[in-house]
Structures are given as structure tokens and as C-alpha cells.
Chain A
Amino acid sequence: MNHTPPVSTATAPAPAPRKPAEAHPVPGTGPTGRQRAAELLQRQGVLVVLLTVVIAASFIYPSFASLDNARGITIQASFLAVVALGMTMVIITGGIDLSVGSVFALGGVLAAWASQYGFLAALLLPLAVCGAIGLLNGLLIARGNMAPFIVTLATLLGARGVLLAFTDEGATTYLVPKDSAFGDLGQGAVWGFGHPILIALVLFGAGGLVLQRTSFGQTLFAVGGSSDAATLMGLPVARTKILVYTLSGLLAGLAGALNAARLSSGVTIVGVGMELDAISAVVIGGTLLIGGAGSISGTLWGVLLLAVIQNLINQIGSLNSSYQSVVSGGFLIVVVVAQRYLARSRRST
């Protein structure tokens, strides 16, 4: 999305440079080739990496390239993808949402418990509760002027606590009734691709439209790019922040519900550290952690890249699966370093 058509770099011939030896390009003649390459890399660099890894892996491990494996990878990635979608929007505003992992787990348990009352209850209860947690985050951050890091750290702990209380310290596991419509939401599939994958794709499509083609999306960028300017321009900064954290809570709750539907039970120990995976995926996807720039598509590739790495490590077999975090961490560092470098080469016109 947001393709920038190439801009002609031809300078109008009229203003002959008055100073003879012009060592550097005349300023402001549009992005240079190098700049445009840098911009493209920042936008879609992760896609290049993802494709390279996938193609290389397909040659090295024939079992990797199977349709079954693709189904497995994407279903694994779909839950994190939905959480990371909300995270992308939050990070674009210059914020952070650490609570999503706990909210994800809480949403799953609530959905499993409510599934005994039917499909709608199983879907709406987690959305209502998790949306409320997100709303609380947003209110404290936007109206209370508190740091997003602290507020969402508090709700991370709080949501996990509510979850433990609700399940008697995790001793009770609520099960989703067999053959229920809700169970089918997680386990059903179209051409072997599970429903959660399709739901995640639809959400990403909608998210991309919201981000690029609505006022709300534009305001997210403006708030992250310069909060003061956004205020002075009369944009609804506080409302936008409240909305974006609510959205993040809702998406995390939905992802949790889908996960519960897939597992047929509300597992209490899921989602620990998931917020960090989501942040990694967003940053790997090219969204600036300081806000103001980013894309939904990048996040999708980032999530897939993390899932592919995990899958590959499982394929290798001999490698301890703990090394997945090491590799993901390595990628994160590479991306952040690359972002710095790219940002610099874009700025130095």
C-alpha cells in the first residue's frame, strides 16, 4: 500500500547553478535513486527477506515446501498476526501496548467459559471485556497523560491476575463443547486453510484500508509523527489514542477467542511474552518504534517471518527450539540497525 509512483528527477533546466562546482545534487530534486531504493527497502525489505528465506528453505528442506507445512505455519501465525495488527496501529501513534499477551489469554478463557451459552456469547464476552481493558488503557494514557509503557504494564499484570482468579489459579480449564459453531470457528478450514487464517487476512485488508484511506488512519500517523502539531491542527488526538488502544484490546481478545476455539479449551498459560513477539513483528515489518511511519503489510510479513523461522528450527530438529528466540532476536537487531541506516540515507538528501 501507499505506493509512491516514481518522481522524475529531471531538474528544470532554467536555473543554471550560479556556483560552478556543484559537488552534490541540487537539493530538492525529488528522491534520488538511492533514496528511493532505501525507502522501498524500509517499506518492503522484510518481504524480500521473507521470500529469500522461504525460497532457500524450500531447496534445503524439501519437507518445508509442502502445502501442509504452509497450512501449519499460517495457522500458527494467524493469532499473533491479529494481535500484531492492533499493535501496529498503537506503535504508529508512538505508543506501545504491553497488555496484549495477558488480554489474549484472558480472551481465550472467557470465550471457552462462555461457549457453553452459545456462539454469540463465546465471541462477544471476550470482545466486551478485552475491549474494556483496551479502553481503560486508552483513557489512562490519553486523558490521564500517563506513559503507555507503565499503563499497559499495569494492565498486563492486572489481566493476568483476573485470569488466574477466574480459573482458580489456573486449576480450572473451561472446555469448548464438541461440534459447536464456536469450535468450528477455530478448527474449520477452507481448502485446508483454517478459519483463523482467513479471518486474519480479512482483518489485515480492513486494517490496511483504515490506516491508509480513512481520517482515523491519517490521524494515527499525525499523532505519532508530531503530537503537538496534531493538537494544534485541531485533530482529535485524545479520542484517537483511546480508540487505538481499545482496538488493540479488542483484537487481542478476538485472537485469544479464536485460539481457544482452535484448542477447544481456555488454556491459561498462553500469551506469556506474546506482546514482545508482536512488537518484534511490527518493528521487523518496518514500523518505526518512535511512531509516525509504518505499514500493515510490513507487519504481516514480519509475523510470517517469525513463524517461518520457528518452523525451520523445528524442521532442523537437531537444533534446540529455544534457539528460535535467539534467531528472532538477531533478526530484530538487524532490522533496527538497517532502519537507522536507511533513515539516515533517506534524510541526507
Chain B
Amino acid sequence: MAPPEAVPQAPERVAHAAPAVLEARSVSKRFPGVVALDDVSFSLRAGETHALVGENGAGKSTLIKVLTGVYRPDGGELRLAGAPVGFARPSEAQQSGISTIYQEVNLVPLMSVARNIFLGREPRNRFGLIDFPRMHRETSGLLDGFGVRVDPRRPLHTLGIGTQQMVALARAVSVDAQVVIMDEPTSSLEPREVETLFRVIEELRGQGIAVLYVSHRMDELYRICDRVTVLRDGRHIHTGDLAGLDRMQLVSMMLGRDVAEVRRAGVTNFAAEGHEAARTPVLTATGLNSRLQLHDISLSLYGGEVLGLGGLLGSGRSETAKALSGALPLDSGELTVDGTPLKRLTPAAAIRAGISLLPEDRKAEGIVPGLSVRENIVLAAMPRLSRAGVVSRARQDRIVDIFMKRLRIKASSPEQKVGELSGGNQQKVLLARWLCLEPKVLLLDEPTRGIDVGAKAEVQSLIDDLAREGLAVLLISSDIEELIEGADRIVVLRGGAVAGELAGEDVAEDRLLEVLADHAPAPGDKAPAAEEDHR
């Protein structure tokens, strides 16, 4: 990644004597059944860029929410410039000079860019009314500094995700902040925008503003951060200078395992060896196009393999999965299952052809929490289990029994309500629902997101087993390790188009990051870039 000359490689790191601007002392936060933060102490110095790392569920988000006044700590205290503070709500933290960019853009989609940036602190004219010309002028000036050219009157939702993130960034730094917290700010940014972000961070550093930087991307951390704090299972593990800290060592601290073990066994529960893929594809997609979302996506899925679908947030992964399951209206493109083209692309037709999708958002698109485990499992299989509309209860019970045993669904009985189960078990119920349709192709969109470590391992080994039994599996995961170790082959998407494919030896983290980071020019990334070029 060749940095433009504007970005110095942080030659002089901040003097260690810099005072702590924001401090957390023995902070604890409990939720029902979970200790999210356990006696965590941490301090942020003026003018430093401080990395906060840890696995999912390590307590990073909770710590951020405590620092920004979204949560109140159960124990411990916060100190701002040495004085104890307590934030009852986010506005109080912001007034104290702590501003935050959240991972998912938290702006108001229907309102204009300028209004979003100035909400709550609009410039007034002499009548006390909002001075729109000035607001628009200042917005343009502000965004120009970020290399974003967009009409300040445009509604936010008409912009690309990356641009929206830049607007959020502009809002965060345009207030008089002492501390800027960035939660995975680059997860939806284009490389060009990432460079802009880094330039802004350098500027903040120059102004003596402290930045707390949360990211999973090691390259970024080593490039712009001075110090790092590692959290694991809600506990503080390490704080220290980043320079001189070995990457492997950092990862092992995050995972809580020996460096050697990390090297040897990997971090997921997938079997080390790959699968034996069939010779002819089960599912072939040719030239899938959907306005603004997918551009000419073609891929083949073979029986007995796990095909990973990689890409950053907004790269079109979920949209591709939806397109393959007939749930996304397409402008053009063809799906072939076992050599037979599908005539009409609807979810019902796809299911009949043997394609099942486990959607990303299981709460909204999957389980019916008020129904029992049994009812949830047989929901999709109902037409097959019934004759003339009458459902055979005996056949239902048989099927439910088989899947509850096979997937090790932990429920008190098949009649327990699904809403009462843990996230992992809900996910297994959903898997069971699709498996009892005996699909040929299983599309899994983030199957292990938001479920605990144990259940995650079980779902992962289940995916392994299913592929071994000859099912074609498409796996979408933001967890890079899961993708690398779970998939036999990875198709990488960027900007709604295929950016590259990795197979065999190339299924490795550095290769994936290279493709993701656009080392090699890839086709089809023009859509987001063209976004702001209007005037």
C-alpha cells in the first residue's frame, strides 16, 4: 500500500510523558448472565492514536459505550483530564469533548448531508433561525478537506456507505473534540478513503487530540497506532507500545493461546484438510446484474465443497447470496442447478430447485420466536409433510427428533419456544429447517455471528460435515479466520463485482487481504468511486 506523500509514517511518536486525557479505572459492566467488562483500566494520552483490539465479545464495544455515555459502568470510574466524570447519556460525553464514529453509520438517512453534520449545533442567523446558506457552505468546505465532493443538500441515504462514513467522520471531528473514538472506521471504506482517514488521524494527532482506534486489520494498526490495549473476555490483558510488539504475539494475546498453537492449529474448528469436490458444478450463476448492487457476478458451486464469499461490508456478499436464492430482483443473469436453468427466479422456485439460504439477520428474516422448536423446523417443509393440507404430526415428530439429535439442539423439549433458546441454538434450528428440505445447495450468510464460542465451534464442524456429505455450501463470513479455514475456495467481491478468486494454497489471510485491499487492480470497482463525481 503505497501511501501518498501527504501521509507521514508517524516518524516521531508522541512523547510518553503526555498527560492522560481520558482514563477508565477498574471499570466493570455486567449484563444478565454476562460480565462484559471485568475491572478494566485503561488510559488515553493526548495526541496519541491508541489501538483497542480483541476478539468479538472481548468487550471492546462495551468499553466504547461506557466511554461515550451509552452505558453507565456498574463499578469503577472514568476520569477526564484527571477529574472524575459520569456520563448519563451520549450528549454529556459529547459536550465533554468525546466524539465517536460508530461501525454502522449512525446518521439520519432521510436528512441532508449538511443537516446531519450540523444536527444539534446548527449555525444561526441574527433572527435565531438556522442559517442554511452558511451551513451548506461550511459543509462543503469541511467535506472538501476529506476529499468528498457532494451536494450538501442531498439526502444522506442517496450516498454510498463509504461516503456516509466520511460524513460521520466529518461530523465527529468538526466538533471541538479532545477524544475521537473510531469503531472499525475502515470496514466500509474504499482504499482511497482509508488514506484520507489516515491523513485526518495524523492531523488530529498534530492537534493533540487523542484517537481510540478499534480495528481488526493488523496492517492499519501497525501503520497509524502508537500504543495498543488488548481485551479478552471482558478483561484487560495488555497495554503497551505497538512498535516492537510482534504480530503473532499480539494475536496470541487476543486469542489467549500460545503463539505456537496459533500457528499450528488455527483458531477455528474446521478440519485442517479440505473437501473432495465433485467434478461438475451443482449451481452455476452467470452474469448476475442488479442495479447498483451486483455487477456481472458469475460463480460456480460444486457439491462437497465450501465456497467462501469474501469482501468488505457493502461489497455485495449478502446481495449475491440473496440473488442465488431468488430473493433479490435481478436485471439480468441466469442460475443453473444441475444443468437445468431456473426459469423464474423466486425464493419458492429456488427452494424447489434445492437452494436454501440461511439469512444474515436471523431475528428479522429467520426464526419465529413465538413458535416452538418443532414448528420452526417444519415450517418450510410443511408442503412436503402434508397431504391435502393435513399435516401428519407423526412424520413431523420423526423429522424433528432426527435433526435435534443430529445438530445437538439444546432445548428442554421440541415444544419449547425458539425465542427462549440461545443464539447458537436458534441458528441450529434454522439450519435444521433448511436441512429437512434436503437441499443441494446451502447458502450461509454469517452463520456464526453473534453466537457464543462453543456453539460457533459446533456450527463450524457441522458445516464441515455437511460438505463432506456432498452438499454444496456457500459461506459468507466477516471473520477472516473462519473464511480462510472453513472454505476450500474463496471468491472475493468488491463493489458488487467479483474481484478475484483464491483456491488451493492461495486461500490464506495475506492473499485474501491483498485482494481485499486492492493490491491488484480488479474490475468493477468503479461504481463507488464514481459516486461523488457529480457536480
Q: What residues of chain A have their CB less than 8 Å away from a CB belonging to chain B?
A: 4-5, 7-12, 14-15, 17-19, 23-24, 26-31, 209, 212-215, 218-219, 221-222, 225-226, 228-236, 292-293, 347-349
Contact = CB atoms under 8 A, between A and B. Distances in A.
A19 B289 CA distance: 13
Nearest to A209: B129
Interface string B240-251: 000000000000
Given A226-B108, A232-B90, A218 B535 contact: no
Nearest to A30: B534
B461 to A, nearest CB: 36
A27 B292 contact: yes
Nearest to B153: A4
B120 interface: yes
A293 B110 CA distance: 7
A246 B521 CA distance: 58
16 contacts: A8-B534, A14-B533, A15-B530, A17-B530, A18-B523, A19-B526, A24-B291, A28-B158, A212-B130, A226-B108, A226-B109, A228-B106, A231-B90, A235-B119, A292-B110, A293-B110
Interface residues of B, number: 51
A43 B70 CA distance: 36
Interface string B83-105: 00000011111110000101000
Contacts of A5: 153
A222 B331 CA distance: 34
A-side binding surface: helix, strand, loop or mixed? loop
B106 A234 contact: no
A122 B291 CA distance: 61
Contact of A233 (B119, B289, B529, B534): B119
A230 B108 contact: yes
Contact of B110 (A11, A18, A225): A225
A172 to B, nearest CB: 45
Given A219-B119, A232-B70, A225 B108 contact: yes
Interface centre among B70, B154, B159 (most CB of A within 10 A): B154
Contact of A215 (B68, B110, B130, B154): B130
Contacts, number: 132
Interface of B: 68, 70, 89-95, 100, 102, 106-111, 115, 119-122, 128-130, 132, 151, 153-154, 157-160, 171, 289, 291-292, 295-296, 331, 523-524, 526-527, 529-535
B167 to A, nearest CB: 12
Contacts of B527: 27
Contact of B102 (A225, A232, A236): A232
B530 A28 contact: yes
B331 to A, nearest CB: 7
B109 A15 contact: no
A26 B291 CA distance: 10
Nearest to A212: B130
Nearest to A26: B530
A233 B115 CA distance: 12
A250 to B, nearest CB: 21
Nearest to B102: A232
A221 B533 CA distance: 28
A122 to B, nearest CB: 31
B455 to A, nearest CB: 27
Contacts of B70: 232
B132 to A, nearest CB: 8
